Structure formats: C-alpha cells, structure tokens
Structure 1
C-alpha cells in the first residue's frame, strides 16, 4: 500500500458489476489490520451538470491537496465512443442486408427457367397462377425462416460470448428483436421469391413445352 508491504490472506473473491460505473475496487479487511499503513480518503458525490468547475475552484482554494476526477466527463466520452461503434455496426449490418437481398434476387433470377417449367407443369395440372404464386411464397418463406433462425441463433450466441467471456458483463437475450428479425427474413424472402419469379408465373404452358 503506497510502497509499504502489508501481508494479507485472501479468503474470498467477490463478483464485480463493471457496468454499474461505481467504485468497485474495494479490498475488505478486518478492523485494525491497516491502521499503521499509509492511507488516503476517497468520496463520491453527484452535483448538477455545469457546476463542476465552480466546485473544483472552491475546493482547490480550501483544500489544495485534493484531486478531483470528473467521472461524468469520462462516462460521456465512453458513451460517445460506444454510440459511434454501434452506428458502425448498424451500418455494416445494413450493408450486409442489402448485399443479401441482391444475392437473393440474383439466385432467384438464375432459376427462372427451371421455375417456368415447374409453373407450366402445375398450370397444365389445373393449378392457377395465384395458387402457384402462393406455393412459391410458402417455399421461399420456409427458406427465409430457416435462414433467419440460424442467423439469429448465431448472433445471440456471439453476443453472449462477447459480453459474458470477453467483456465480463451480464447478458440478456432480446427475444422481441430476434423474433422480428426472423419474421422479416421469412417475409422478405417470400416477397423476393415471388417477385423474382414473376416472369415464370406469367409464362404460358404451351410456350414452355414447345421449347422443350
């Protein structure tokens, strides 16, 4: 302690909630053990925002050996950094979503000829255009549902690992946004599948079978 060696025996270790931003570096010892050790006092208090400079000037006059640490300023800087980091992550996620939509439409367009033959066969068997579109919507919705579930599960596992093991913070799953993401993925994939196969749904069976 401040250069002086004080032998102590560790009997227990407590859990620290780092996200509380409170003083959490205390070492609890029995009374009398540190009476002869060099010491200093620490205190925390909260004052209205904007009065920090006045208080610091007043304390510096009466108590020149006091060191003041503006935790609010440190907290605001950390908050600003985290907000910029979150914005970058959201931007990256948006770019990934747009790229996924482009790839989805490209993959749907690549199977237009095969879908046209399937739709032509269904129409020959008496299936209407609306029914064929509904079948395509269900098929692509199931694909989007599975993809959304896998992606959401992976994202939650990654968030759990980062917060629990890397940042040592408590983690709570966000079931609401996760369900919304899965539903949006299913609906978006279904819409993309039907729209991308619009030409296949418009084709006439005679024209398809003539090419075959």
Structure 2
C-alpha cells in the first residue's frame, strides 16, 4: 500500500450520476496535424480517435457537448506562455486554430474560444451545463498535464461529478499523462475508459 492510499487518497469514487455533459478540450489542428510543431503526438491521436467514438454516441443521445480551441488576436493579448509555438501560431486567423473535423460538429456542439488552460475559465460552458441540467462532466482532449488537468480541477470546483476517460485524453509524453491522471484520480475525478463512458451514456440513467 502506497502512502497516498494509506492516507485515504482515492478512497471515495465520484461515480457517474444523472445527466452527463462532455467537454472537448483543444482538439485543434495545431495538436492533431503533424505539420505543426505541437501536432501528431501518438497519445493525442489515440485520444482523438476514442473521443470521436464517444461523441458519436453522445450526440445520438442528445448529450450536451462543449468544444473549445485556444487562440488569441495577437501576442499582446496572450498570457505569458513559455511555449513559442503557442505564441506564434495560436491566433484566431491561423489555420492551426481550427478544430479537427473528426470531433467537431458545428450544427450541434457549443463552441467556445478559451484563452487560458481551462475550458471553464471565463467561458459560457458552466451556465450552459447548468441550463441543461448536467450533473456529471466527462473531460476529453489535450494535453493531460496542462489543459486537461486545469479543466478537471475547475469542473470539480464547480461541483460537477468529474470523469476522465484515460483513452480520451493525451499528452506529448506518456510519463506526464500517467502522472497527472494518477494525481487527479486521487483527488478530484474518476479515471475510466471510453467504453465505460459510452456504456453509461447508452443507459437510461444518462438522460434522466
């Protein structure tokens, strides 16, 4: 038994309950196309594939879905990122800011532009979920150690039951991916699989 477990970290399961909502964090072309400096990481591409599967079922069951991308008008209105590719390419008018069509449905999804790591920070996602009666939020997207972690913590702080399917989120390296999932899984969220999330959505409980 590790010391965290001995001190009761992770003892309580959050569980999925009531109506679910899904957030899709930053599956923009900057991360999903290899021609861009941050694009094409294997774990991100795996997450893209599994999130696409999840969203297909979710939309069939009318699950509220919010997709975001990160972009700025210029370097001047961007925060103090330490990633030069973000400062140089994450602009509203840059082609890499567009969401990957594998996950985005403009006719269905709520689309928001975010300027910080969390999809919930200064965006209309929380009011949208409250209006829709969402109790459980499923977090998908990239990157696990950055925007996924921040979105997971904000979801927790807003009082949502927070669920992270391990195979629907990705990072540049496996180490930070696993470390951050283990850490938030001890504190704020349940870590499950895409198949488990799909099974819940397909059950009658998801739309109650």
Say yes or no: TM over 0.5: no
Report 1 or 2 for greater relative contact order, CA contacts < 8 Å, sequence distance ≥ 6: 2
More strand by share: 2
TM-score by length of 2: 0.21
Bigger Rg, structure 1 or 2: 1
